[in-house]
Structure 1
């Protein structure tokens, strides 16, 4: 039986207008010469980003634009935000550790469920804790500027291929999802049931005890539906809306989360390994 965990009330941040997120770089036009634009690309990009506030609500003109995938971002205040993210991750691991039903499964299944579901669980806890964050865009590297500054082609190639920072498209997707949860004003019990639905993921068909996991997920879904029906007078449209968010949660890129919130702390280490060690899963599996 899943027991809802007591959660602290989430502090809500002030919503930022969508237009402040900024236009797609592909749509930006300048009257300066092309050479001028190239030589000043790094400075201009940085200045423009500092003038924006990183709203999670993207412009419809930017949706589907490939430049969002190419643009890389880092945290504006990494020390404070990484500390907050670490606290959220600890809460996620504590939720898993305090579920006896989870540890009744073979350790191989525990490993698969953690590997597949830690990212959506983390975002869910970010939403519950009301954690918002500001971003800073990494200036794009101007190849011509590197050449004019007499940097070697090898150094230029390494810089151009650098994957520092997280994809703006993936981070923007996560911020949008956080705001959807906050708009629904999910309460502590709903979050607890949602975590059970996410963790006991019946779509992991490689599990040895798949029927057991399916039964636990169904139990969590039934508990959520009954709770919403009681609290919201039989109006199950809320139940449907919340379940729709689960698909979006599973679509969140775990690598983007790791790169944005934990790379400054972990260095070259892998978050999956850290979580497994924290939860005392059999080390021989690694």
Structure 2
């Protein structure tokens, strides 16, 4: 599914396009080679500009469907259900945004952004929802540079043409992250992650015998997910729908409601 509007990113920042072709730099990072600085944007004032969804109602509806599929994927994994509930919650809270972005890529959901000034109607609806309170949180749009990271990741995934099975294994690698602080069973979760990595390796090598670089391309795409911030995903796709409701509370309700 795809939807579009006039893109503030494409209209204002031409040098952002150069950031999409940085596989070699990520490859060095992945292989622990010497650090290299990413090319800087000459229009920093533009990349820091705030942006919002160009078609918020359509975009948020699509995002909600992807989030529902993401949570259903998690709750239907026997290996996840076998974890202690505190570990389940920690993994969900720390990994949901990356899994959601993978879901956007898998479902082919594209989006465009515009300057916030053009979303005054939406802002008025949100700020007047259930009346204004003194403790109401301010809805802050993400920067163009942060949103560009999401769009670049999606473009990268689509250029690789990742298959359904590969997405499943990638989601397993992302979900079972032993580095999440506070886990009761980090070693077991590490084993689950390694199992997903092994399955991805075997599948990729068996299906794409002649494409020796494919596995590295997929890993590079996965590495770029780390630069996407969870608050950016929340503010861009879900704050217009849930208002001041805490995202973690919503996720927990979705996870444990049959």
TM over 0.5, yes or no?
yes
User: Which residue among 69, 81, 99 is the counterpart of 1:91?
Assistant: 69
Q: Does the 8 Å contact 2:105/2:157 carry over to 1?
A: yes
Deviation at 1:70, TM superposition (A): 3.2
Cα distance in 1 for partners of 2:181, 2:244 equals 31
SS of the equivalent of 2:52 reads strand
| 1:123 and 2:101 are equivalent in the alignment | yes
Instruction: Map 1:1-286 to 2 at 5 A.
Output: 21-24=10-13, 58=17, 63=41, 65-68=43-46, 70-139=48-117, 164-233=140-209, 235-280=211-256
Relative to structure 1, the CA distance from residue 210 to residue 68 in structure 2 (aligned partners, 3 Å threshold; closer, same or farther) is farther
The whole-number CA distance in structure 2 between the counterparts of 1:266 and 1:82 is: 10
When residues 100 and 19 of structure 1 are mapped into structure 2, their CA distance, relative to the original with a 3 A threshold, is: closer
Residues of 2 paired with 1:70 and 1:183: CA distance?
Answer: 27
Aligned to 1:50: none
Aligned residue for 1:35? none
> Offset at 1:208?
1.0
- Separation (CA, whole Å) in 2 of partners of 1:56 and 1:261: 25
Q: 1:22 deviation in Å?
A: 3.0
CA drift at 1:19: 11
Partner Cα separation in structure 1 for residue 139 and residue 45 of structure 2: 15
The DSSP-based 3-state class of the residue aligned with 1:201 is coil
Contact 1:58 1:172 in 2 (8 A): no
Deviations, residues 133-185 of structure 1 (Å, cap 9, x unaligned): 11111249xxxxxxxxxxxxxxxxxxxxx653221111011001100000000
**Alpha-carbon distance in structure 2 between the residues aligned to 1:65 and 1:214:** 41
Deviation at 1:66, TM superposition (A): 3.8
- Which one is further off, 118-127 or 252-261? 252-261
Give the structure-2-normalised TM-score: 0.76
Deviation at residue 103 of structure 1 after TM alignment: 1.6
- Alpha-carbon distance in 2 for matches of 1:252, 1:20: 17
> 2:170 touches 2:200 (CA, 8 Å); kept in 1?
yes
Structure 1 residues 219 and 249, CA gap change in structure 2 (3 angstroms): same
SS at match of 1:176: helix
How big is the shift at 1:23?
A: 3.7
Residue 82 of structure 1: how far off its partner (Å): 0.5
What SS does structure 2 have at the residue aligned with 1:72? coil
CA contact (8 A) 2:8 2:51 kept: no
The number of residues matched between the two structures is 218
Distance (Å, rounded) in 2 between the aligned partners of 1:19 and 1:76:
9
How many Å separate the matches in 2 of 1:228 and 1:13? Answer: 31
Rate the CA distance shift 1:218–1:116 in 2: closer, same or farther, 3 A: same
The residue aligned with 1:31 is: none
Aligned CA RMSD, in angstroms, stands at: 2.9
**What is the TM-score normalised by the length of structure 1?**
0.69
1:202 Cα deviation from its structure 2 partner: 2.1
Rg larger for: 1
